[in-house]
Structure 1
Amino acid sequence: MYHISCDIRAQRSAQLIAESVLHLAEKKPLAEISIAEIQRISGVSRSTFYRLFDTPLDVVTWQVEKLFKTWSAEITKAPAKKIIPLAFMQLMMKNAALLEILAQNDQLALLARNHRHYFQDVLTVFDFPADLDQIEKEYLIDFLSYALPIAIFTWLRRGKKETAAEVSHYFWQSIRLMSQATKK
């Protein structure tokens, strides 16, 4: 869990800690990163670390949540539903280093959980039937909450070769193929 106030000093310390954790996580798993290493690189005291975060994973969680807040704010301005996966892919690709850390530390669930939380804001942009009951809505949200992050992890696994437009195309193509396969 993280505990970051709106205080400018706390925000600055949290950012220094985050940069240090991301740097260290490029070299080793999050579980092996010590607070002493973070302290040494960031220049932030041990007590400040524990005032803001509990673990290095909390630091990454904070970074992911900041990323999704940005995405949520951008996406509600999107003119069409086809743009949503593209905008998601573009933002995620800009933050590939953070995503690689999530992939290396088996944290797809962290990405999907945040996506699900912010997907509520995005749901209004799609043209889903107004008469969806609560159960249908939950299944739809959970499916899409994992589907987009899985597309990003596939892009990472493939060596980041495709553009955001190509990954978005493959995402929608996969949805179409699944739909066609269930109609047969």
Structure 2
Amino acid sequence: MSMYQGSNPTALQSQSMIIQALLALMQEEPFAKITVKAICARAMVSRQTFYSLFDSKEEVIGLHLDKLFEIYRERFLREEQSCTIRSLCDSIVSCLVEQREIVKLIVDNRLDTIAKEKTESYLSQLVALFRTPEREDMDYAIAFMAGALMNVTALAVRRNDFGDGKKISALIEQIITGRYFIL
């Protein structure tokens, strides 16, 4: 079975309640110690409902990240006139700074792998906005960018240096474009 993808309003409301319950619990204790039973109790849904909507609590985090990405993607399309590495870095880092609480929860709970995998998926969707030729090795470039974004973000969160999005964005752009290492 896989995560629920339908449009039933009751199921979508239950998904939202489960997401909010898990995020609230993550502020109280480590992700690894949170049980599905505790999530269900906080969300006021049955375990049967949980498992009809999700396969795991990791999928709950994944769906929350998907929802945040959809908001980001719509804003990026609405605001950006030109798709450049600079505009992409600025907008992604700006979004991450806005969502610093969830980013911190992900980093603190060592859920970076989920975030990196999701970031790869999102970058694959965004790369279509750039006027680049189709390349069979594009997945390597996307994996590199996703890893760079998530690792720099995680380090900035751990160092409590995540307040200045422009500084982090400029650093990521310099590293990605190779200008950082030019003497």
**TM class by shorter-chain length?**
0.7 to 0.9
Q: TM-score, normalised by structure 2?
A: 0.84
Unpaired runs of 5+ in structure 1?
none
Separation (CA, whole Å) in 2 of partners of 1:161 and 1:46? 37
- 2:155 aligns to what? 154
Which one is further off, 18-27 or 65-74? 65-74
Q: Contact (CA 8 Å) 1:76, 1:121: kept in 2 or not?
A: no
Distance in 1 (alpha carbons) for counterparts of 2:24 and 2:108: 14
Alignment of 1:118-137 (within 5 A): 118-126=122-130, 128=132, 130=133, 133-135=135-137, 137=138
| Identity in percent | 20
Residue in structure 2 matched with residue 10 of structure 1 by the alignment: 11
Partners of 1:120 and 1:174 in 2: CA distance: 20
Alignment RMSD, CA only? Answer: 2.1
The code of the aligned residue for 1:149 comes to M
1:61 corresponds in structure 2 to: 62
Shift of 1:68: 2.0
Change (3 A) 1:89 1:161: closer
Who is 2:140 aligned against?
Answer: 139
Aligned structure 1 segments of 4 or more residues deviating by more than 4 angstroms: none
TM-score by length of 1: 0.84
3-state SS, counterpart of residue 134 of structure 1: coil
Distance 1:2 1:96 in 2: 26
Contact 2:153-2:162 within 8 A present in 1 as well: no
Q: Compared with structure 1, are the counterparts of its residues 166 and 13 closer, same or farther at alpha carbon in structure 2 (3 Å cutoff)?
A: same
Task: Tell me the distance in 2 between the aligned counterparts of 1:138 and 1:36.
Answer: 38
